[in-house]
Chains A and B, each alone.
Chain A
Amino acid sequence: MTERRDISIKVPVLARVEGEGALDLEIRDGKIEELKLRIFEPPRLFEKFLEGRSYDEVADIVARICGICPVAYQMSAVHAIEQVFECDPGPWVHEMRRLLYCGEWLESHGLHVHLLALPDFFGFNSVAEMAKQFPDEVKRGLALQAIGNEIVRFLGGRSVHPIGVRVGGFYKAPAAADAATLLQKVQQQLAHAESLLRWSAALDLPSSKQDFVSVAIRQADEYPMNEGRIVSDAGHMLVSENFERHFKEHQAPHSTALHCHLDGQPYLVGPLARLNLNHDVLPDAVKSLLHECGIVFPSQNMFHSIIARSVEIYYGLFEAARILEDYVVPDVPYVDVIPRAGIGFGCTEAPRGLLWHRYELDDAGRIVQATIVPPTSQNQARIEEDLYNELLAFGLHNDDAALRLRAEMVIRNYDPCISCSTHFLDLRVKRI
């Protein structure tokens, strides 16, 4: 018996970063004959836009790659350029970059958990609909997203495409009084984050266990954001210069998106991968809260991603408070750089996972060549593998609507850049 199901995801949005995706599923004799996730990704011409531009324009240009995680693009870029210039901006800049990243994680995870994932999970069509039944939970989520935005504004002037970051540090140091005010607000939100964590730990998530390799950056003394080596639970430990030796991007034949493999295999980046590899360096207070909630890492259940995001929301606030408590206004919030030719690499942890940049500069500090490998292209192959396993385990006898919902949930765990759009599958089924 041959049953052919074409499930197509059509995303009718006129937009720049959201993609258009389709899932082709062919089932024969109760087995998946073919599974292809096709994602239309608007061409990443940014690498070309950068050519010829000065090093001091890069942070402003790459921010435009994503409206949700501009800070990540700025961070990978400035670290790569500073590597070329052999510039060390020092401890104040290190701490402020962590604070800025905390803001972005809070904003991005807050948005994902409350506005994208939970309405889906509870079967609401939108957050506005969900707000009628769960007003407190939705308000809590919006407040956590808002504190993230406020942290980014503190250092970046505005929360989307912030303007505060420069090669060598920051354009301006915030006033001590503003830091004190922000610290108070951050501390107020800690209770919200704690209740979110307890709440998400109690969600009735599907149980699932799959073999996959987690990849994240890591260093011995702090939870990873800007610095560290690229590690995997398959034993890799690489400096970012060696990324291309093991990670290869290629265009899958059926897709317009670039897929990235680790030694020829799919792998996972993002909050769950970060925690799988770095749970041991979380502060003790965060660890004991996890213990109390019965949350255990590492986990091979992708549905635990929502818990991982909640953990990082809590940690993000905790870390932001720590940094703000010690805040001092420096004499100068940046170090001067001297442009020179060379190749530099930047690898930081975007909300969605590893974000790797490589820049070649000329002796005036102009970009000769740029390569950017975003998290979504790294997770793409893993999403396909996950869909294959998960739909099989879920049961192919389920009707198309149920399969589509399950597929959406699986895809959303990765929070891909198309995740906003895949919520709205225009399901078309053909049976041959």
Chain B
Amino acid sequence: MLNLGEPLLTLAELVDIIHFAEAGPVDPEAKVDIAFVEGSITTPDELQRIQRVRANSRYLITIGACATAGGIQALRNHANTSEWMAAIYAQPDFIETLDTSTAIAEHVRVDFELWGCPINSHQIVAVVRALLFGVAPLQEHDSLCLECKRQGNVCVLVTQQQPCMGPVTQTGCGALCPKFGRACYACYGPKENSNSDSLSQRFQGFGLLPDEIADKFLLINNAAPAFAAAGQKAKEIDHD
């Protein structure tokens, strides 16, 4: 958001920014119309705090992969967090952290979700504009492939057998990776009704090992339900 440039000043004219610690105003307990929540729930304190944010806000909107799906931090959910902590910190007891990194929606009702790691500034401005006009923000959940085709990019999956996650990933980034000739790595999270089985099979056909296929699903949005399930299923390909 601090990356908006001059539109940040325009935005500050349109709405009263009540609490935005990185930019200045601090008033964490204020009643507000819109609360943007960034980051996942990873500490005991945040468990309490998100309840107050919900109670104080008319609309609660999550921004980014961490708040919306637990983020890359959710990789810890399947690991032995205390063992990991002990490997990094001499005194892990000093560190207050939960064993899991979870999405906001697992704790409170969320009105709108802005997916992506990172989200782009346009998503924020668009949602604020829509709410100011009194209309529901438009949420796009198409697959990345649609945007990629509209741009006329050469398909890296079909022509180069690259393990591209585009078919199961929602649009929003502008199909950047295929445009750069590389496979999408799903930083915008799962599209609606994604056919992960079919894509996994295709990746197997390219010669990817089960763990390698699982890694594709279990990255930035590893805890998004559709990806978590697909990743788990891919790991089990071995046992069939």
Assess whether B169 is interfacial by the CB under 8 Å rule.
no
Residues in B with CB closer than 8 Å to A157 are 176-177, 179-180
* CB atoms of B12 and A53 under 8 A apart: no
Chain A, Cβ-Cβ closest to B176 = A157
Whether B5 contacts A164 by the Cβ 8 Å rule is no
Known: A12-B28, A14-B37. A258 touches B89 (CB 8 A): yes
With contact pairs A64-B220, A159-B3, A258-B89 given, residues A18 and B73 touching in the complex (Cβ less than 8 Å): no
Chain A residues with Cβ below 8 Å from B87 are 48
Rounded to whole angstroms, the CA-CA distance of A161 and B49 in the bound complex is 28
Q: Among A44, A64, A255, A258, point to the contact of B117 (Cβ < 8 A).
A: A64
Contact with B along A311-346 (1 / 0, CB 8 A): 000000000000000000000000000000000000
Residue interface bits B59-82, CB-to-A below 8 A is 1, else 0: 000000010000111011001010
What secondary structure prevails in chain B residues at the interface with A? loop
Q: Which of B18-26, B125-133, B136-144 contacts A (4 or more CB under 8 A)?
A: B18-26
Residues in chain A near residue B154, CB distance under 8 A: none
Q: Which residue of B lies closest to A421 (CB)?
A: B21
B215 within 8 A of A: yes
The listed residue (A45, A52, A146, A172) touching B88 by CB distance below 8 A is: A45
The contact of A423 among B24, B43, B90, B180, by CB within 8 Å, is: B24
B9 part of interface (Cβ distance < 8 Å): yes
A423–B125 Cα distance when bound, in Å, is 25
Max chain B C-beta neighbours (<10 A), residue from A129, A161, A172, A424: A424
- With a cutoff of 8 Å between Cβ atoms, the chain A residues found around residue B88 in the complex are 43-45, 47-48
Q: How far is the CB of B79 from chain A (nearest CB, A)?
A: 7
What residue of chain A has the Cβ atom nearest to residue B90's Cβ?
Answer: A251
Which of chain A's residues has its CB closest to B87's CB? Answer: A48
Confirm or deny: A142 has a beta carbon within 8 angstroms of a beta carbon on chain B: yes
Answer yes or no: B50 CB below 8 A from chain A CBs.
yes
- Interchain CB contact under 8 A, A15 and B38: yes
Bound form: Cα–Cα A138–B22 in Å: 16
- Tell me the nearest residue of chain A to B179, going by C-beta: A157
- B85 interface residue per 8 A CB criterion: yes
Please measure, in the bound complex, the distance between the C-alpha atom of A172 and the C-alpha atom of B84, giving whole angstroms: 36
Q: A128-B9, A161-B118, A171-B180 are in contact. Are A421 and B84 (CB under 8 A)?
A: no
Which chain A residues in 140-189 approach chain B with CB under 8 Å? Answer: 142-143, 145-146, 149, 157-161, 163-164, 166, 171-172
Give the shortest distance, in Å, between B117 (CB) and chain A (any CB).
Answer: 6
User: For chain A residues 415-432, which have a beta carbon within 8 Å of chain B?
Assistant: 420-421, 423-424, 426
B contact residues around A115 at 8 Å (CB): 2, 23
Does B185 touch A at the CB level, under 8 Å? yes
Whether B26 contacts A12 by the Cβ 8 Å rule is: yes
Contact A251 B91, beta carbon cutoff 8 Å: yes
B207 at the interface (CB under 8 A from A): no
Q: Interface residue tally of chain B, by bracket?
A: 35 or more
Question: Given A125-B25, A163-B180 in contact, is the A54-B212 Cβ separation under 8 Å?
Answer: yes
User: Of the candidates B6, B17, B46, B90, which one forms a contact with A14 in the assembled complex, judged by CB atoms under 8 Å apart?
Assistant: B46
- Are A12 and B21 neighbours in the complex by a CB distance under 8 Å? yes
A127 to chain B, nearest CB (A): 6
Q: If A64-B117, A142-B5, A171-B181 touch, does A11 touch B21 (CB 8 Å cutoff)?
A: yes
Is B8 at the interface (CB under 8 A from chain A)?
A: yes
The answer for the CA separation of A421 and B19 in the assembled complex, in Å, is: 12
* A40–B182 alpha-carbon span in the complex (Å): 37
Closest to A422 in B: B21
Among A12, A45, A159, point to the contact of B84 (Cβ < 8 A). A45
Give the docked Cα–Cα distance between A11 and B43 (Å). 14
- Interchain Cβ contacts within 8 Å, total number: 158
Q: Closest A-chain residue to B7, C-beta based?
A: A142
CA distance A43 to B83 in the complex (A): 12
| A426 to B94 alpha-carbon distance, docked (Å) | 22
Q: Determine if B168 is an interface residue (Cβ-Cβ < 8 Å).
A: no
A119 CB contacts on chain B under 8 angstroms: 24
| Alpha-carbon distance A64/B219, docked complex (angstroms) | 11
- A358 to chain B minimum Cβ distance, whole angstroms, is 14
Write out the residue numbers on chain A whose beta carbons fall within 8 Å of the beta carbon of B42.
16, 42
CA distance A99 to B46 in the complex (A): 39
Contact yes or no, B73 A16, CB < 8 A: yes
A67 touches B21 (CB 8 A): no
Residue A131 at the B interface, CB < 8 A?
Answer: yes
Instruction: Across the interface, name the chain B residue whose C-beta is closest to A153.
Output: B176
Chain B residues lying within 8 Å of A12, measured Cβ to Cβ, are: 21, 26, 28, 49
Judge whether B120 is part of the interface by a CB distance below 8 angstroms: yes
Q: If the complex has contacts A16-B40, A161-B187, are A128 and B24 also in contact, measured as CB distance less than 8 A?
A: yes
Give min CB distance, A227 to chain B, whole Å.
25
Tell whether A111 is near chain B: CB-to-CB under 8 Å.
yes
Instruction: Please report the C-alpha to C-alpha distance between residue A61 and residue B97 in the assembled complex, in whole angstroms.
Output: 21
Shortest distance from the beta carbon of A144 to any chain B beta carbon, whole Å: 10
Residues of A within 8 A of B43 (CB): 42
Tell whether B145 is near chain A: CB-to-CB under 8 Å.
no
A424 in contact with B21 (CB, 8 Å): yes
**Which chain B residues (93-129) contact chain A, with CB distance < 8 Å?**
94-97, 117-118, 120
Q: How far is the CB of A293 from chain B (nearest CB, A)?
A: 27
Tell whether, in the assembled complex, residue A163 and residue B24 are in contact, meaning their CB atoms are under 8 Å apart. Answer: no
In the bound complex, residues from chain A placing their C-beta under 8 Å from that of B95 are 43, 256
Given contacts A15-B39, A48-B87, 6 further A-B contacts (CB under 8 A): A14-B49, A67-B118, A127-B24, A128-B9, A128-B24, A161-B118
In the A-B complex, list the 4 residue pairs whose CB atoms are closest, starting with the nearest: A126-B24, A160-B118, A420-B22, A12-B28
Binding site for B on A (CB under 8 A): 11-16, 18, 40, 42-45, 47-49, 52-54, 57, 60-61, 64, 67, 107, 111, 115, 119, 124-129, 131, 138-139, 142-143, 145-146, 149, 157-161, 163-164, 166, 171-172, 250-251, 253, 255-256, 258, 420-421, 423-424, 426
A-B CB contact pairs (8 Å), 8 listed: A14-B38, A14-B50, A42-B97, A48-B87, A49-B75, A142-B9, A158-B118, A251-B89
